[in-house]
Chains A and B, each alone.
Chain A
Amino acid sequence: MLTIAQATYDAIVAHARRDHPDEACGVVAGPAGSDRPERFIPMLNAARSPTFYEFDAADLLRLYREMDQRDEDPVVIYHSHTATEAYPSRTDTSLAQEPRAHYVLVSTRDPDRAEFRSFRIVDGEVTEEPVQVVQSPPAADARAADAWAVDAWGQADRRHTVGHTPTSVVYDCPTS
Chain B
Amino acid sequence: MAIEVRIPTILRSYTGGAKVVEGKGDSLAALIDDLDSRHPGLRDRLVTSDGALHRFVNVYVNDEDVRFTGALDAVLREGDSVTILPAVAGGAVGGLPPTG
Interface residues of A (CB under 8 A from B): 23, 25, 27, 43, 47, 49-55, 57-58, 60-61, 64, 74, 77, 79, 81-84, 88-92, 94-100
Contacts and interface: CB of A to CB of B under 8 A. Distances in A.
A60 B10 contact: no
Given A91-B94, A95-B87, 18 more contacts: A25-B88, A52-B89, A52-B93, A54-B87, A55-B88, A57-B58, A57-B67, A79-B91, A84-B92, A89-B90, A89-B91, A91-B91, A92-B91, A94-B96, A95-B56, A95-B90, A97-B87, A98-B10
Interface residues of B, number: 23
B65 A58 contact: yes
Nearest to B56: A95
A51 B9 contact: no
B88 A77 contact: yes
B10 A97 contact: yes
For the complex of A and B, the 3 pairs showing the least CB-CB separation, nearest first, are A52-B91, A97-B86, A92-B90
Contacts of A51: 91-93
A126 to B, nearest CB: 12
Interface string B1-31: 0000000111000000000000000000000
